[in-house]
Structure 1
Amino acid sequence: MCMGLGCNAAGVTGCRIIHSPRERLIAILTNAFIPCNGRFPTLIALITMFFVGTGNGLLGSLQAALILTGVIAFSILMTFAASRLLSVTILKGEPSSFILEMPPYRKPQIKKVLIRSVLDRTLFVLGRAVIVAIPAGLVIWLIANVRLEGLSLLQWTSSFLNPLGLLMGLDGVILLAFILGFPANEIVIPIILMSYLSTGTLVESGNLAELHALLVSHGWTWATSVSMILFSLMHWPCSTTCLTIKKETGSIKWTVTAFLLPTVFGVLACMLFTAVVRLFGFI
């Protein structure tokens, strides 16, 4: 779980230390509930813009840190909830006892550690990322630049997704950004900006004050930000994580389950939050 805070793919690989196959599988399937390093910039930006403000200095940073800590605690709670759901449904079984084996002490072999880290970890994960990133980049460019009846495919697709997005407290552009952000969570905000500004290429977010003004001008409220945070926490794993899950489990079925589980949680959480907010007239 802690390794997932850096990279969910690394968190999935780290599940190898769990001896029970059932519990290892539960840990793999729920690892995506933990926000990885690619989701933190989005979470921090949203918290700062809509709940703290961009000009509050040290006090604002402290407030943002406390809110972010609460968000991470919520993601851990949802991880436990999903794990419990799996353990009483499709992955029933007796819990195993916790055994911590102390390995024999050996002198560290620096060269071997570095070589294995580079070859078995860094290059392997980067290779998986490239497999999906290159074709995904081509798809993003095509969908943003190919036009039908004066509108780009990006605009057509976001309009199609807009009803579902509104039910979740988002919009079609945000939902499409998450879909196109499958290769890497870091590009979700740039895709949203590309859609709003109609640039045809990915755009840097600039400073938070300008980004906040742009988002508000396109209908964003604090409720939109909360829904965005919820769906950032709970949606499908990135492409590299999915490939890693396929390798670790050797099963398409469990890879699809790992894809759908957080997505269903995220969609339902967003819909429930939006329904409650609208029911009580907060927006």
Structure 2
Amino acid sequence: MEIQKIYTEAQALSNPQLRDDIVQQLYSRSKQLCNEAVQLTKEEGDKRTEKLDAVFTSPLWGFPIMIIMLGAIFYLTIAGANIPSSKLGEFFGFLEKYLTSFFHFVHAPDWLHGVLVLGLYRGSTWVISVMLPPMAIFFPTFALLENYGYLPRVAFNMDRLFKNVGAHGKQSLTMAMGFGCNAAAVMSSRIIESPRERMLAILTNNFVPCNGRWGTLIVLSSLFMAGSFTGGLKSLVTTAMVVGIVLFGILVTFFVSWVLSKTALKGVPTHYTLELPPYRRPKFFDTIIRSSLTKSWLVLVRAVKVAAPAAVLTWIIANIYIGDQSILMYAVNFLDPFGKSLGLDGYILLAFILGLPANEIVLPILLMGYLSTGSLTEVDSLVDLKKIFIEHNWTWVTALNMMLFSLLHYPCGTTLLNIYKETKSKKWTFYSFLIPTALAIIIPFIVYQTAKLLGWV
């Protein structure tokens, strides 16, 4: 009885309000001591920080500002990357003509030209032209916000939501890193001290779209959701759609975190005390150069390393025939009935399966699969790209469900490897694959069946 009494009293003392009161008292007392012992010489700067924090961390304005900031970054990325991407595509197409002429000049066999040029070269250069311009804009812009001191305010705001779902406030920082690379975000979960909450962050980080999925989300939003618009309005609608998909992914993160915290990962969230750093004037040039040359380059190199062999493999299985069908078509026909039930098709599912090593190569593999030769076509504009999709019976529901599947599906091979290294557990690595895969099947299935009932498809 005595032990039970002590346990009950300890539980009564351990509650969020009491912890908040203790932290508040410590902060007030330390501030009082500082005021008595320290003479500030930059009162205006301190007051400016407090005024900005009153807005950026406000329960009323904090979240709308976060969404606007996110939208602004995506708009700059989408609008700014269009022209450089098309110019890079034209440049690589120009070089390909000379490569093809060289192969003809040396009388190289057709299969060698197919593997090296139509598979390896086109697949790799597609990834570069689609990924490099958005990365060169997104990473430096995101780094400037971090350099300025805004991202800790985002963590402060998100802490309230993560507490409500049984997770840790620091998960917001790992989630933000996931916008660049989920594999790196999994490693960053080490900043969370609690093993339970660290596991929550690892299992749910995949629901934030990494850089490898931006290309798919942006291209499909631009082609189908904003297809009837032009100019700046088209970029604005594309941005709104991408932001909507990202917010949906964040909601899924909260939902899965809440379910896991009530079932497999039960526990009380630990208290998170965050000291907000002062706002700083960003080192504009240094930040842009560092982000462009390190983050963008490293991610691009990884994508090309994976895209090159995947493009070759796709060309090979599309050009090796058993009877009157290629290996690729056998796989597509096998997957097609299941894909159709999700509002997709066999080509799309096969692209995601072959794209397991890296999300960047899903769209190139899909396009290569849609062609009878298994080689990536020369796409001069998004109009040509849309024609390819429409010829294979795509609608806006198909595009939406592929975006949802891309957002929710299993982590890439690199991320799965990092999850195993961080957890040292085959069980949790398998769960990190199973949970998003199940959601990637269930949600598009519901969307497609609902669209059928409403007569939209």
Call closer, same or farther: CA 1:41–1:136 in 2, change over 3 Å: closer
Contact 2:315 2:373 in 1 (8 A): no
Matched, 1:151 2:151: no
* Aligned residue-pair number: 268
CA distance in 1, matches of 2:219, 2:385: 9
Contact 1:128 1:240 in 2 (8 A): no
Which has the higher relative contact order, 1 or 2, with Cα contacts under 8 A spaced 6 or more apart?
1
Matched, 1:208 2:375: no
Contact 1:246 1:252 in 2 (8 A): yes
Q: 5+ residue gaps in structure 2?
A: 1-174, 278-289
What is the DSSP-based 3-state SS (H/G/I as helix, E as strand, rest coil) of the residue aligned with 1:100?
coil
Call closer, same or farther: CA 1:253–1:141 in 2, change over 3 Å: farther
1:251 corresponding residue in structure 2: 425
2:408 corresponding residue in structure 1: 234
- From 90, 93, 103, the equivalent of 2:267 is 93
CA distance in 1, matches of 2:420, 2:376: 30
Contact 1:7 1:37 in 2 (8 A): yes
Shift of 1:136: 5.0
Call closer, same or farther: CA 1:53–1:243 in 2, change over 3 Å: same
Call closer, same or farther: CA 1:256–1:203 in 2, change over 3 Å: farther
Q: Deviations over 1:83-107 (max 9, x none)?
A: 111111111112111133799xxxx
2:203 corresponding residue in structure 1: 29
1:278 corresponding residue in structure 2: 452
Contact 1:125 1:240 in 2 (8 A): no
Contact 2:307 2:360 in 1 (8 A): no
CA distance in 1, matches of 2:387, 2:307: 30
Matched, 1:48 2:222: yes
Matches within 5 A, 1:128-147: 136=310, 139-147=313-321
Call closer, same or farther: CA 1:175–1:6 in 2, change over 3 Å: same
Structure in which a larger fraction of residues adopt helix: 2
Matches within 5 A, 1:189-228: 189-203=363-377, 205-228=379-402
Call closer, same or farther: CA 1:133–1:282 in 2, change over 3 Å: closer
Q: Deviations over 1:126-160 (max 9, x none)?
A: 78996x77775664344223211121111100100
Matched letter for residue 417 of structure 2: L
CA distance in 1, matches of 2:381, 2:298: 33
2:192 corresponding residue in structure 1: 18
What is the DSSP-based 3-state SS (H/G/I as helix, E as strand, rest coil) of the residue aligned with 1:87?
helix
CA distance in 2, matches of 1:206, 1:92: 53
Call closer, same or farther: CA 1:252–1:188 in 2, change over 3 Å: same
CA distance in 1, matches of 2:345, 2:388: 15
CA distance in 2, matches of 1:203, 1:245: 36
Matched, 1:66 2:240: yes
1:9 corresponding residue in structure 2: 183
Matched letter for residue 271 of structure 1: F
Q: 5+ residue gaps in structure 1?
A: 104-113
Shift of 1:200: 2.8
CA distance in 1, matches of 2:266, 2:185: 23
What is the DSSP-based 3-state SS (H/G/I as helix, E as strand, rest coil) of the residue aligned with 1:90?
coil
Matched letter for residue 197 of structure 1: L
Q: Deviations over 1:3-30 (max 9, x none)?
A: 0000000111111101110000010011
Contact 2:186 2:419 in 1 (8 A): yes
Q: Which moved more, 1:39-48 or 1:201-210?
A: 201-210
CA distance in 2, matches of 1:194, 1:14: 35
CA distance in 2, matches of 1:4, 1:160: 33
Call closer, same or farther: CA 1:17–1:129 in 2, change over 3 Å: farther
CA distance in 2, matches of 1:252, 1:134: 29
Contact 1:26 1:86 in 2 (8 A): yes
Call closer, same or farther: CA 1:68–1:145 in 2, change over 3 Å: same
Contact 1:54 1:209 in 2 (8 A): no
Matched, 1:175 2:328: no
What is the DSSP-based 3-state SS (H/G/I as helix, E as strand, rest coil) of the residue aligned with 2:253?
helix
- From 247, 257, 261, the equivalent of 2:435 is 261
Contact 1:48 1:54 in 2 (8 A): no
What is the DSSP-based 3-state SS (H/G/I as helix, E as strand, rest coil) of the residue aligned with 1:220?
coil
2:252 corresponding residue in structure 1: 78
What is the DSSP-based 3-state SS (H/G/I as helix, E as strand, rest coil) of the residue aligned with 1:96?
coil
Q: Deviations over 1:195-230 (max 9, x none)?
A: 111223345654211010110111000110111111
Matched letter for residue 143 of structure 1: I
Structure with higher Rg: it is: 2
* TM-score (structure 2 length as normaliser): 0.55
Q: What percent of counterpart residues are identical?
A: 49
CA distance in 1, matches of 2:264, 2:319: 44
CA distance in 1, matches of 2:330, 2:216: 25
